[in-house]
Amino acid sequence: MSKIATPDISHLTAQDYESIYEPAEDSFLMLDALENELPLIMAMKPSLCVEVGPGSGVLITGLATALGPACSYIAADVNMKACMATVATAQKNACSVETFCSDLLSGCGRQLDGKVDVLIFNPPYVVTPPEEVAAGDLQHTWAGGRKGRQVLDRLMPEVPRLLTPQGRFYLLIERENDPEEINAIFRSMELFGKKILERKTGPEHLAIWVYTKLDRAL
């Protein structure tokens, strides 16, 4: 069975984690989901994988080590230190990820339209007062505002135009984010979703969902 080796992030220090997200249960749930999906992803022969909010770079690097250099890898984080950490993590694991410091994918303009085969987002998902969203590097990692969705809600309308016809969007959703409403919004954009993995960790109920343009591809 195809595997995703957990990337080596030993170059990142406690000081780095004062300003970037230290991989945690949510990150590892996404890595496990991507590993389960690897046969499907490989069968697509993807040309481009993109991550929004890579933090340490652990997810996009994991995918890059598994899929190899035939595919390109791009990641965009609003936190410049996360972009630098992602480049360093990719290098440490002998692969290459291009990063943009930008709000969502705005830094890429329309260049990614219709080109993304795999899109990944582990968003800041914790329900907080709206003013905590984007209040600083660390708040960027977890503060999600209303329903924990303020950042995700801005990415959602972009997803259909980013994905290739076979493209797959992997999204981490916490139960308080209202998965049913998220699904209804995606369905209104003709994106179909399926929960592929879930785990309860302490008070959080985390799940990974995949969205595609073809419901038969789920």
Query: 57 near 92, Cβ under 8 Å?
Result: no
Q: Within 13 Å, how many C-alpha atoms sit on residue 3's CB side?
A: 3
Question: CB 214 → ligand SAM: shortest distance, Å?
Answer: 26
Extract the tokens encoding 190. 């003709």
Which residue in the set 5, 18, 25, 103 belongs to the binding site for ligand SAM (CB under 6 A)? 103
Q: At residue 141, what are phi and psi to the nearest 5 degrees? A: -75, -30
Q: Say whether residue 82 binds ligand SAM (CB under 6 A).
A: yes
Dist CA 142 CA 151 (whole Å) = 10
Q: Say whether residue 74 binds ligand SAM (CB under 6 A).
A: no
Dist CA 155 CA 127 (whole Å) = 17
Query: Would you give the binding string for ligand SAM spanning residues 170-209, x where CB under 6 A is met?
Result: ----------------------------------------
Per-residue CA distances from 38 to 3, 4, 140 (Å)? 8, 8, 29
Question: CB 31 → ligand SAM: shortest distance, Å?
Answer: 8
Query: 157 near 186, Cβ under 8 Å?
Result: no
Query: Segment near ligand SAM (CB under 6 A), from 35-43, 51-59, 109-117, 203-211?
Result: 51-59
Q: Which position's Cβ is nearest ligand SAM? A: 53
Q: Say whether residue 99 binds ligand SAM (CB under 6 A).
A: no
Q: Say whether residue 52 binds ligand SAM (CB under 6 A).
A: yes
Per-position b or e across 60-72, b if 16+ CB within 10 A of its CB: bbbbbbbbeeebb
Burial class (CB in 10 A: 0-12, 13-18, 19+), 41: buried
Q: Say whether residue 153 binds ligand SAM (CB under 6 A).
A: no
Interface with ligand SAM in residues 116-145 (CB under 6 A): 122-124, 140-141
Q: Say whether residue 50 binds ligand SAM (CB under 6 A).
A: no
Residues contributing to the site for ligand SAM (CB under 6 A): 21, 23, 26-27, 30, 52-56, 58-59, 76-79, 82, 103-104, 122-124, 140-141, 151
